[in-house]
Structure 1
Amino acid sequence: MAKALIGYIGGPPTEQLRETASLHRRIADLEDEILRLKVENDGLLRTIRERVDHVTAGDLMQPAAH
């Protein structure tokens, strides 16, 4: 009887199951986005390091182009 009072007969309601599935999909989408951004960020960092490695003291003495 206690289960009937809290509405827990037969497991979680269908709407709650749908919401949980939706949240799981959203989490997976966000994790994919995080991975994509990390890969992109790593590529950008690699490009910056490569360019910095090719900078000479002479390059630093030249005025910056605006």
Structure 2
Amino acid sequence: MSANEKAKAKYEQAKGKLKEGAGRTTDDESMAAEGRAEKSQGSLREAKEKAKDSAGKVRDALKGDR
């Protein structure tokens, strides 16, 4: 996972968590929902990068067997 993409994913997750908490604290369901969406977006970005890393490792392992 590239360091830049990993940082973006973690930033989105943290930002979403803060926004969700703020929404809950202020009884603003719209803000809480936005926060949950941002957390999910960050999680998806992280999962995508992990899948790319895994695919690269498999590719490298297969190249080594040739």
- Mark yes or no: TM-score above 0.5: yes
Work out which of the two has the higher radius of gyration on C-alpha atoms and give 1 or 2. 1
Q: How many residues align?
A: 40
Percent identity between matched residues is 8
1:42 paired with 2:56, answer yes
- What's the TM-score, normalizing by structure 2? 0.56
Q: Which runs of 5+ in 2 are unaligned?
A: 1-26
Aligned-pair distance for 1:50? 1.1
Structure 2 counterpart of 1:48, one-letter code: L
> Paired residue for 1:21, among 35, 48, 54?
35
Does 1 or 2 have the higher relative contact order (CA < 8 Å, sep 6+)? Answer: 2
Q: Which runs of 5+ in 1 are unaligned?
A: 1-12, 53-66
Bigger helix fraction: 2
Structure 1 counterpart of 2:53, one-letter code: V
Question: What is the aligned-residue RMSD (CA, Å)?
Answer: 1.4
Equivalent position of 1:30 in the other structure:
44
Structure 1 stretches (4+) deviating beyond 6 angstroms? Answer: none
